């Protein structure tokens, strides 16, 4: 395929108090993208971070024209950050992964070849989860429950390492502001007719700080949103 036929790629990272990891993610993305496409951008959604994340991003934008920042003055939750990232992306393909550095953005090169003519989404799945045991147990339970209640077409809905055609994203609307947005996203993409491929990706232990998700308040909100999502989409059949 000639270079001028390569689809453009938008890469974005939702970030919340990720000052120690977001810089490397941005730099790594900007290193690999010129080999994958001629049209690209990197977006960071700073979701109301209270640490030095914005200062890191300000320094990066002074060096890289391809980097754009979407800034939330207050924290809108993981789902709110994803919604902003999808809205901001302008290229044919949209890739996102988390800003905490537990996935290697350079593994995007493994996903892109699987995005064939009849494939709309390439989803990673964790080859081995390198979290503490409590997170593994909760994550495994959540994943099995999501499959049981929503009949999802992928094995690991909790793996936020996704490459999606922007055209199919335009056919759905997202409302969740918590981590339940991943279930909503995958479910609605399937209902919109999306075809999925999957590939294993590496998952790494957090090098800095603690997870912003695994607090009683955030887990409780996600579970509540999860069941309200099931009620709306499955029981009441509303969008």
- Confidence (pLDDT) at 141: 86
Q: 212: exposed, middle or buried (C-beta count within 10 Å: 0-12, 13-18, 19+)?
A: middle
pLDDT one-digit tens code per residue, 187-206: 999 999 999 999 999 999 87
Residues in the chain predicted with pLDDT less than 50, given as ranges, are 1-3
pLDDT value of position 4: 56
pLDDT score of 212: 54
200 CB burial (10 A radius; 0-12, 13-18, 19+): middle
Looking at residue 223, its pLDDT comes to 84
- Tell me, what's the pLDDT at 215? 60
Q: What is the CATH number of domain 3-235?
A: 3.90.550.10
Segments making up each domain of the chain, as ranges:
3-235
The confidence score (pLDDT) of residue 205 equals 86
pLDDT tens per residue across span 15-29: 999 999 999 999 999
Q: Is the Cβ–Cβ distance between 13 and 97 less than 8 Å?
A: yes
Rounded to 5°, the CA angle 218-78-159 comes to: 95
Rounded distance, CA 174 to CA 182, Å? 10
Spatial separation of the C-alpha atoms in residues 227 and 225, rounded to whole Å: 6
């Amino acid at each position: 395929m000639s270079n001028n036929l390569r689809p453009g790629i938008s890469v974005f990272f939702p970030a919340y108090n990720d000052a120690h990891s977001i810089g490397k993610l941005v730099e790594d993305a900007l290193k690999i993208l010129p080999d994958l496409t001629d049209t690209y951008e990197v977006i960071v959604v700073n979701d109301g971070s209270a640490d030095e994340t914005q200062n890191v991003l300000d320094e990066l934008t002074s060096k890289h024209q391809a980097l754009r920042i979407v800034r939330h003055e207050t924290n809108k939750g993981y789902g709110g950050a994803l919604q902003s990232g999808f809205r901001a992306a302008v290229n044919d393909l949209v890739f996102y992964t988390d800003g905490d550095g537990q996935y290697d953005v350079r593994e995007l090169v493994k996903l892109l070849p699987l995005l064939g003519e009849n494939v709309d989404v390439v989803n990673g799945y964790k080859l081995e989860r390198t979290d503490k045991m409590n997170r593994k147990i909760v994550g495994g339970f959540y994943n099995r429950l999501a499959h049981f209640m929503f009949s999802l077409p992928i094995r690991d809905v909790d793996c936020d390492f996704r490459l999606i055609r922007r055209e199919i994203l335009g056919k759905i609307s997202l409302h969740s502001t918590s981590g339940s947005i991943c279930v909503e996203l995958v479910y609605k993409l399937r209902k919109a007719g999306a075809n999925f491929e999957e590939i294993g990706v590496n998952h790494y232990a957090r090098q800095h700080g603690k997870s912003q998700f695994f607090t009683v308040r955030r887990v409780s909100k996600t579970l509540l949103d999860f069941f309200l999502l099931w009620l709306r989409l499955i029981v009441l059949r509303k969008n």
